[in-house]
Amino acid sequence: MRIIDSVAVVTGAAGGIGAAIAQRLLEQGGKVALSDISADRLAATVAELADRFPGRVLGRPGDAAAETDLVALIDSATTTLGPVDLFFANAGVGGGPGLAATDAQWEQALSINLMGHVRAARLMVPQWLERGSGYFVGTASAAGLLTQIGSATYSASKHAAVGFAEWLAVTYGDRGVRVSCLCPMGVDTALLTGFGTDEAADTRLAARAVTGAGKVLQPLDVADRVLEAVAAEQFLILPHPEVAEFLRRKTSDHDRWIHGMQRYRVTLES
Protein backbone atom coordinates (compact mmCIF):
# COMPACT_ATOMS: atom_id res chain seq x y z
CA MET A 1 0.00 0.00 0.00
CA ARG A 2 1.43 3.36 -1.09
CA ILE A 3 0.58 6.42 0.99
CA ILE A 4 1.73 9.14 -1.39
CA ASP A 5 -1.25 10.82 -3.09
CA SER A 6 -3.70 8.60 -1.21
CA VAL A 7 -6.71 9.94 0.71
CA ALA A 8 -7.26 8.78 4.28
CA VAL A 9 -9.91 9.35 6.93
CA VAL A 10 -8.88 9.16 10.59
CA THR A 11 -11.41 9.25 13.42
CA GLY A 12 -10.50 10.11 17.00
CA ALA A 13 -7.87 12.40 15.49
CA ALA A 14 -7.88 15.46 17.76
CA GLY A 15 -4.89 14.02 19.62
CA GLY A 16 -3.13 10.84 20.63
CA ILE A 17 -2.76 7.98 18.17
CA GLY A 18 -5.22 9.46 15.66
CA ALA A 19 -3.40 12.78 15.34
CA ALA A 20 -0.08 10.95 15.14
CA ILE A 21 -1.33 8.69 12.32
CA ALA A 22 -2.62 11.74 10.45
CA GLN A 23 0.74 13.48 10.81
CA ARG A 24 2.69 10.49 9.53
CA LEU A 25 0.29 10.04 6.59
CA LEU A 26 0.80 13.68 5.62
CA GLU A 27 4.57 13.39 5.99
CA GLN A 28 4.48 10.50 3.51
CA GLY A 29 2.56 12.52 0.94
CA GLY A 30 -1.01 11.57 1.73
CA LYS A 31 -4.13 13.69 2.14
CA VAL A 32 -6.10 13.31 5.35
CA ALA A 33 -9.57 14.08 6.69
CA LEU A 34 -9.53 14.19 10.49
CA SER A 35 -12.57 13.80 12.71
CA ASP A 36 -13.23 13.89 16.44
CA ILE A 37 -16.15 14.54 18.73
CA SER A 38 -14.11 17.29 20.45
CA ALA A 39 -14.52 20.16 18.00
CA ASP A 40 -12.14 22.57 19.76
CA ARG A 41 -9.29 20.10 20.10
CA LEU A 42 -9.81 18.94 16.53
CA ALA A 43 -9.70 22.51 15.21
CA ALA A 44 -6.36 23.11 16.95
CA THR A 45 -4.85 19.91 15.55
CA VAL A 46 -6.15 20.57 12.04
CA ALA A 47 -4.83 24.15 12.09
CA GLU A 48 -1.37 22.96 13.10
CA LEU A 49 -1.26 20.27 10.41
CA ALA A 50 -2.79 22.48 7.71
CA ASP A 51 -0.08 25.06 8.35
CA ARG A 52 2.56 22.42 7.64
CA PHE A 53 0.72 20.60 4.85
CA PRO A 54 -1.47 23.17 3.06
CA GLY A 55 -4.21 21.86 0.80
CA ARG A 56 -3.97 18.31 2.13
CA VAL A 57 -5.84 18.50 5.44
CA LEU A 58 -9.56 18.54 6.21
CA GLY A 59 -11.18 18.60 9.63
CA ARG A 60 -14.80 17.74 10.38
CA PRO A 61 -16.04 17.25 13.95
CA GLY A 62 -18.49 14.44 14.56
CA ASP A 63 -19.37 11.26 16.41
CA ALA A 64 -17.43 8.30 14.99
CA ALA A 65 -20.25 5.96 16.02
CA ALA A 66 -23.04 7.94 14.31
CA GLU A 67 -23.80 6.88 10.75
CA THR A 68 -25.00 10.34 9.72
CA ASP A 69 -21.73 11.89 10.91
CA LEU A 70 -19.69 9.20 9.15
CA VAL A 71 -21.58 9.77 5.89
CA ALA A 72 -20.94 13.52 6.14
CA LEU A 73 -17.26 12.93 6.93
CA ILE A 74 -16.70 10.57 4.01
CA ASP A 75 -18.63 12.83 1.63
CA SER A 76 -16.58 15.87 2.72
CA ALA A 77 -13.33 13.97 2.32
CA THR A 78 -14.31 12.72 -1.13
CA THR A 79 -15.46 16.13 -2.34
CA THR A 80 -12.47 18.05 -0.98
CA LEU A 81 -9.59 15.58 -1.20
CA GLY A 82 -10.73 12.77 -3.51
CA PRO A 83 -12.01 9.19 -3.17
CA VAL A 84 -11.08 7.67 0.19
CA ASP A 85 -8.38 5.00 -0.03
CA LEU A 86 -7.82 4.32 3.67
CA PHE A 87 -10.11 4.50 6.68
CA PHE A 88 -8.63 4.49 10.19
CA ALA A 89 -11.39 3.67 12.68
CA ASN A 90 -9.40 4.99 15.61
CA ALA A 91 -11.92 6.65 17.93
CA GLY A 92 -12.35 4.84 21.24
CA VAL A 93 -13.52 5.17 24.83
CA GLY A 94 -12.52 3.49 28.05
CA GLY A 95 -16.05 2.72 29.17
CA GLY A 96 -16.96 1.56 32.66
CA PRO A 97 -15.27 -0.60 35.31
CA GLY A 98 -16.43 -4.10 36.29
CA LEU A 99 -19.91 -5.40 37.08
CA ALA A 100 -20.76 -1.93 38.38
CA ALA A 101 -20.65 -0.55 34.84
CA THR A 102 -24.07 0.74 33.85
CA ASP A 103 -26.02 -0.24 30.74
CA ALA A 104 -25.27 3.22 29.39
CA GLN A 105 -21.52 2.65 29.82
CA TRP A 106 -21.79 -0.71 28.06
CA GLU A 107 -23.76 0.84 25.22
CA GLN A 108 -21.25 3.66 24.81
CA ALA A 109 -18.25 1.32 24.76
CA LEU A 110 -19.83 -1.05 22.25
CA SER A 111 -21.16 1.81 20.12
CA ILE A 112 -17.81 3.56 19.72
CA ASN A 113 -15.28 0.75 20.08
CA LEU A 114 -17.18 -1.69 17.87
CA MET A 115 -20.12 -0.21 15.98
CA GLY A 116 -18.10 2.80 14.84
CA HIS A 117 -15.96 0.27 12.93
CA VAL A 118 -18.94 -1.65 11.63
CA ARG A 119 -20.74 1.47 10.37
CA ALA A 120 -17.60 2.82 8.72
CA ALA A 121 -17.02 -0.50 6.96
CA ARG A 122 -20.64 -0.57 5.75
CA LEU A 123 -20.03 2.74 4.04
CA MET A 124 -16.52 2.14 2.70
CA VAL A 125 -16.36 -1.52 1.68
CA PRO A 126 -18.94 -1.35 -1.15
CA GLN A 127 -17.05 1.61 -2.63
CA TRP A 128 -13.74 -0.23 -2.36
CA LEU A 129 -15.14 -3.41 -3.89
CA GLU A 130 -16.38 -1.38 -6.85
CA ARG A 131 -13.00 0.32 -7.22
CA GLY A 132 -11.04 -2.88 -6.58
CA SER A 133 -8.99 -1.56 -3.66
CA GLY A 134 -9.19 0.01 -0.21
CA TYR A 135 -7.70 -0.26 3.25
CA PHE A 136 -9.44 -0.47 6.64
CA VAL A 137 -7.46 -0.10 9.88
CA GLY A 138 -9.32 -0.69 13.14
CA THR A 139 -7.79 0.46 16.41
CA ALA A 140 -8.48 -2.16 19.04
CA SER A 141 -6.07 -2.84 21.90
CA ALA A 142 -3.90 -5.54 23.43
CA ALA A 143 -6.92 -5.82 25.74
CA GLY A 144 -8.81 -7.18 22.73
CA LEU A 145 -6.33 -10.05 22.46
CA LEU A 146 -5.71 -10.57 26.17
CA THR A 147 -7.99 -8.75 28.64
CA GLN A 148 -8.21 -5.50 30.57
CA ILE A 149 -7.98 -5.86 34.31
CA GLY A 150 -10.33 -3.31 35.87
CA SER A 151 -12.63 -2.66 32.90
CA ALA A 152 -15.11 -5.21 31.58
CA THR A 153 -16.57 -2.83 29.01
CA TYR A 154 -13.17 -1.98 27.52
CA SER A 155 -12.05 -5.61 27.39
CA ALA A 156 -15.25 -6.93 25.82
CA SER A 157 -15.66 -4.12 23.28
CA LYS A 158 -12.02 -4.35 22.18
CA HIS A 159 -12.33 -8.14 21.79
CA ALA A 160 -15.32 -7.42 19.57
CA ALA A 161 -13.29 -4.94 17.51
CA VAL A 162 -10.59 -7.56 16.93
CA GLY A 163 -13.20 -10.13 15.99
CA PHE A 164 -14.84 -7.78 13.50
CA ALA A 165 -11.49 -6.90 11.89
CA GLU A 166 -10.69 -10.60 11.52
CA TRP A 167 -14.08 -11.24 9.92
CA LEU A 168 -13.61 -8.29 7.58
CA ALA A 169 -10.20 -9.56 6.48
CA VAL A 170 -11.44 -13.12 5.94
CA THR A 171 -14.50 -11.97 4.00
CA TYR A 172 -12.99 -9.22 1.82
CA GLY A 173 -9.21 -9.50 2.08
CA ASP A 174 -8.91 -11.47 -1.17
CA ARG A 175 -11.20 -9.02 -2.99
CA GLY A 176 -9.02 -5.91 -2.81
CA VAL A 177 -10.03 -4.71 0.66
CA ARG A 178 -7.02 -4.93 2.94
CA VAL A 179 -7.48 -4.91 6.71
CA SER A 180 -5.22 -4.27 9.69
CA CYS A 181 -5.98 -4.29 13.41
CA LEU A 182 -3.95 -2.15 15.81
CA CYS A 183 -3.49 -3.68 19.28
CA PRO A 184 -1.12 -1.63 21.46
CA MET A 185 -0.67 -1.79 25.20
CA GLY A 186 0.15 1.46 26.98
CA VAL A 187 0.30 4.63 24.89
CA ASP A 188 0.69 8.13 26.30
CA THR A 189 -2.79 9.41 25.41
CA ALA A 190 -5.72 11.09 27.13
CA LEU A 191 -7.43 7.69 27.36
CA LEU A 192 -4.66 6.21 29.52
CA THR A 193 -4.43 9.41 31.56
CA GLY A 194 -8.18 9.24 32.14
CA PHE A 195 -7.89 5.67 33.39
CA GLY A 196 -5.25 6.76 35.89
CA THR A 197 -7.07 9.79 37.28
CA ASP A 198 -10.59 8.37 37.48
CA GLU A 199 -11.96 8.20 41.02
CA ALA A 200 -13.23 4.64 40.57
CA ALA A 201 -10.87 2.06 42.08
CA ASP A 202 -11.39 -0.38 39.21
CA THR A 203 -10.49 2.27 36.64
CA ARG A 204 -7.31 3.23 38.46
CA LEU A 205 -6.54 -0.49 38.63
CA ALA A 206 -6.92 -0.67 34.84
CA ALA A 207 -4.31 2.08 34.44
CA ARG A 208 -1.86 0.30 36.74
CA ALA A 209 -2.38 -2.95 34.84
CA VAL A 210 -1.43 -1.23 31.59
CA THR A 211 1.55 0.77 32.83
CA GLY A 212 2.87 -2.19 34.78
CA ALA A 213 2.76 -4.58 31.83
CA GLY A 214 5.26 -2.82 29.57
CA LYS A 215 6.65 0.43 28.23
CA VAL A 216 4.25 3.31 27.62
CA LEU A 217 4.87 4.39 24.02
CA GLN A 218 4.51 7.81 22.43
CA PRO A 219 1.73 8.17 19.82
CA LEU A 220 4.15 8.95 16.99
CA ASP A 221 6.04 5.74 17.71
CA VAL A 222 2.78 3.83 17.38
CA ALA A 223 1.95 5.70 14.17
CA ASP A 224 5.31 4.67 12.70
CA ARG A 225 4.50 1.04 13.38
CA VAL A 226 1.02 1.45 11.89
CA LEU A 227 2.31 2.83 8.61
CA GLU A 228 4.99 0.14 8.41
CA ALA A 229 2.30 -2.50 8.80
CA VAL A 230 0.04 -0.84 6.23
CA ALA A 231 2.92 -0.73 3.74
CA ALA A 232 3.46 -4.44 4.33
CA GLU A 233 -0.31 -5.15 4.38
CA GLN A 234 0.09 -6.89 7.74
CA PHE A 235 -3.08 -7.71 9.65
CA LEU A 236 -2.06 -7.62 13.31
CA ILE A 237 -0.18 -4.48 14.37
CA LEU A 238 1.64 -4.93 17.68
CA PRO A 239 3.65 -1.84 18.66
CA HIS A 240 4.53 -3.76 21.85
CA PRO A 241 6.09 -6.96 20.47
CA GLU A 242 5.77 -8.72 23.83
CA VAL A 243 2.01 -8.91 23.23
CA ALA A 244 2.67 -11.68 20.69
CA GLU A 245 4.33 -13.76 23.40
CA PHE A 246 1.54 -13.00 25.89
CA LEU A 247 -0.98 -14.14 23.28
CA ARG A 248 0.99 -17.31 22.56
CA ARG A 249 0.95 -18.19 26.26
CA LYS A 250 -2.77 -17.52 26.48
CA THR A 251 -3.68 -19.71 23.52
CA SER A 252 -1.29 -22.52 24.46
CA ASP A 253 -2.70 -22.93 27.99
CA HIS A 254 -5.73 -20.79 28.73
CA ASP A 255 -6.19 -21.96 32.31
CA ARG A 256 -2.58 -21.28 33.21
CA TRP A 257 -2.83 -17.82 31.63
CA ILE A 258 -5.97 -16.99 33.63
CA HIS A 259 -4.29 -18.08 36.87
CA GLY A 260 -1.31 -15.89 36.01
CA MET A 261 -3.56 -12.91 35.33
CA GLN A 262 -5.32 -13.50 38.64
CA ARG A 263 -1.97 -13.34 40.43
CA TYR A 264 -1.08 -10.17 38.49
CA ARG A 265 -4.38 -8.58 39.53
CA VAL A 266 -3.72 -9.39 43.18
CA THR A 267 -0.29 -7.72 43.03
CA LEU A 268 -1.87 -4.61 41.53
CA GLU A 269 -4.52 -4.47 44.24
CA SER A 270 -2.06 -4.81 47.12
d(CA 178, CA 172): 7
d(CA 160, CA 174): 22
- Pick from 55, 56, 54, 18: nearest CA to 36: 18
Please give the DSSP secondary-structure letter assigned to residue 83: S
d(CA 87, CA 60): 15
Which helix (DSSP H) or strand (DSSP E) does residue 229 occupy? helix 219-232
d(CA 80, CA 119): 22
**In b/e form, how buried is each residue of 43-71, taking b as 16+ CB within 10 angstroms?**
eebbeebbeebeebbbbbbbbbbbeebbe
Any idea which residues carry the catalytic annotation? 154
d(CA 250, CA 256): 8
Helix (H, G, I), strand (E, B) or coil at 21: helix
C-alpha pair distances (Å), 38 with each of 15, 25, 64: 10, 21, 11
N residues, the chain: 270
d(CA 235, CA 232): 9
